[in-house]
Structure 1
Amino acid sequence: MKAPERVAAIVLAAGASRRMGGRNKLLLPFGSQPLVRHVVTTILASRADPVLVVLGHEAEAVRAALAELPVTFVHNPRHAEGMTTSIQAGVAAAPADVLGYMICLSDLPLIEATEYDRLLDAFREAHARDPACIVVPEFEGRRGNPVLFAAHYRTAILAEERLTGCRGLVQRHPEHVVRVPMPTDHILQDIDTPEAFAALTERTPGQTPR
């Protein structure tokens, strides 16, 4: 792949999992490996390049869970302030020549590499027509993650003041938003609570909660 065609994956793995009852959800077992390793391994199997993982809460433990994977680690010293700071840390660390950024949540373990590639392909097609495109996945009309931003928005992302992500950026540029229908609800199945994790493991019989 030519360098200018690259789309960086920015994996947000800095959160404190406050709703998980004191456990770091990224380190919970998903099959034979920690949840975060499963997610990052899947992203690595896609055509995203490079893959940057933003660390913060329990950074060393999360880094250890991703040992030997070909990723770039980015530390976010402001992670406690909100998700936006992690997005900004990842975007700031991404190579200058990428077409854009795929903002990946690390608690969406059902998304498959082919689904990431579906979004990456849609982004590249949209970018050829509109260098300011934003790609948003949908399932039955419900928006999910990951969202992909053209590098056109780098300065705007780094200046974003809302601390809950870049949803405001999407809302401010509806004329550039491309909605991509997805074949499954995997883009919606994030894990925030012990109940959500239990439901996920029931849905995926090969996974065993502890």
Structure 2
Amino acid sequence: MVTAIVLAAGNSLRMGTQNKLLLPFAGTTVIAAVVEQIVKAGLQELIVVTGNEPDLVHQALIHLPVKLVHNAGYGTGMTGSIQTGIQSAKGNGYMICLGDMVLITAQQYESLNTTFEKAYHRDKTCICLPRFNGVKGNPVIFSSAYKNAILQHDDPEGCKAIIQANNPHIVWVEMDDDAVLRDMDYPEDYAALINL
């Protein structure tokens, strides 16, 4: 079983005054649109890590079957939120999902999940990464064998170093569009996504 861990804690400083995860998208909010696709993909455990405006994020997701955990130190960077999610996860893999990647479909999440489960039988230390036209995207799935390494990781901005140090265990999943590359940091990114 893979646990999906959705990072929904950041301050959205580059977006301006608004929390980007609460902006409207496709008849709902950005964060709900993302989580709905993960739910449709059939992942059995879904954890959302909150930080900034946790009550509003909770309200946006109240209709969905998720477990919310709060990262009180969310201001220190993404790694703390990953660690918070992993501490509550029960899966043999951790799918680290970004709360602003609204174009990734349930089928793409499902493809990553299926690939990981097959790879895990061959290599208990596998890491699954999506790729489009040779460019690495998100979400990443870490085997639970990396739990301690992630919990002890001290780079505040993510776990790239763990991926780089375990290159022989990477399993690439080729994607047929750039959804796995399209996050939403700036107002112009949001404008481009809602005008697709």
Interval of TM-score (by shorter of Structure 1 and Structure 2): over 0.9
C-alpha distance in structure 2 between counterparts of 1:81 and 1:32, whole Å: 32
Give RMSD over aligned pairs. Answer: 0.7
Which position in structure 2 is the counterpart of 1:16? 11
1:146 pairs with 2:146: no
SS of residue in 1 equivalent to 2:141: strand
C-alpha distance in structure 2 between counterparts of 1:53 and 1:43, whole Å: 11
- Residues 102-134 of structure 1: per-residue CA shift (max 9 Å, x gap): 000010000000000110111011111100000
C-alpha distance in structure 1 between counterparts of 2:63 and 2:184, whole Å: 25
Alignment partner of 1:32 out of 27, 32, 51: 27
- Residues 153-209 of structure 1: per-residue CA shift (max 9 Å, x gap): 001110000011111110111011111111111001110000000011111xxxxxx
Q: Verify the 8 A CA contact 1:47 1:120 in the aligned structure 2.
A: no
User: Among the aligned pairs, what percent are the same residue?
Assistant: 45
- Residues 25-57 of structure 1: per-residue CA shift (max 9 Å, x gap): 000000211110111111111122200000000
Equivalences for 1:15-164 in 2 at 5 Å? 15-95=10-90, 98-164=91-157
Shift of 1:68: 2.6
C-alpha distance in structure 1 between counterparts of 2:139 and 2:177, whole Å: 14
C-alpha distance in structure 1 between counterparts of 2:147 and 2:176, whole Å: 30
C-alpha distance in structure 2 between counterparts of 1:139 and 1:158, whole Å: 29
Moved over 3 A (4+): none
Moved more, 63-72 or 80-89: 63-72
* Number of positions where the alignment pairs a residue of Structure 1 with one of Structure 2: 196
Q: Verify the 8 A CA contact 1:52 1:71 in the aligned structure 2.
A: yes
- Unpaired runs of 5+ in structure 2? none
1:193 pairs with 2:186: yes
C-alpha distance in structure 2 between counterparts of 1:168 and 1:179, whole Å: 17
SS of residue in 2 equivalent to 1:117: helix
C-alpha distance in structure 2 between counterparts of 1:33 and 1:129, whole Å: 40
